[in-house]
Amino acid sequence: MAENKQQQATEITNPTAIPAAPDQTFNADSLGTETNLWTKYQNIILGAVIGIALIGGGYFYLQSADQEKDTEAQELLFRSVYAFEADSLDRALNGKGTNEPGLKAIAEDYSGTNAANQANFYIGAIQLKKGKFPEAIEALSNFKSNDLLIQARAYSLIGDAYLEQKNYAEAQKFYSKASDYYPNERFTPGYLSKLALAQELNNNLTEALSTYDRIVTKYPLSADVMEAKKAKARLEAATAE
């Protein structure tokens, strides 16, 4: 039962997984077949081969160490995510005891791991919910993912934080990033609705009108289309006056 829960949590906390580095292969160049060349340069050749072997060994040692570090961090992250999902935000952030250090400690102590990267996403979401907008922006800006959906979500949350601070220009910037990142029927219309709102608040009515039209024409089946049509008609009337 516990193993199943941990496996489920790993699936939850891994939507941001970063593809592993490509396999490193060594293609040896021809070293020559002449016996006299081998005799003359064997010390140099052997030294070079040993050097390559040592470098390669160091690379794989670091890879293994990084994987072990990330595995350890993922186990700790599981506890913090469990607290996050239970809406225990302070506990998720700051932990409880040595076996549950919290998201902040994971992001700092395991910097460079996938777990630390994921921790930054959760930290940003929590800080946004707590109304700590600069802290939310900082954490979410430290989060990077190749995932088709989660990175766009992070951009949108940064936009939310800027909008709450009435920095409409920056909100526009990040809502635009969210809506342009792997556009899809399910989430993109919502990001475009936020973008149009930020554009209106920033008095960019022509741009807002264009964004509402984009929702109507490109995503006619989305849940946002009716509101977009109303907003479009309102702005058309306003700009015609």
**Reduced DSSP (H G I as helix, E B as strand, rest coil) percent helix, strand, coil of the chain, to 5:** 70, 0, 30
Q: Which two tokens stand for residue 54?
A: 């040592």
CA distance 45 to 147: 44
Domains of the chain (ranges; CATH) run: 66-144 (no CATH), 145-241 (1.25.40.10)
- Inter-residue contact 174 to 155 (CB < 8 Å): yes
The pLDDT tens digits of the residues spanning 213-231 come to 999 999 999 999 999 999 9
pTM beyond 0.95, yes or no: no
The pLDDT tens digits of the residues spanning 60-84 come to 334 445 788 889 999 999 999 999 9
pLDDT recorded at residue 65:
52
HSE-CB for 15 with a 13 A CA cutoff:
12
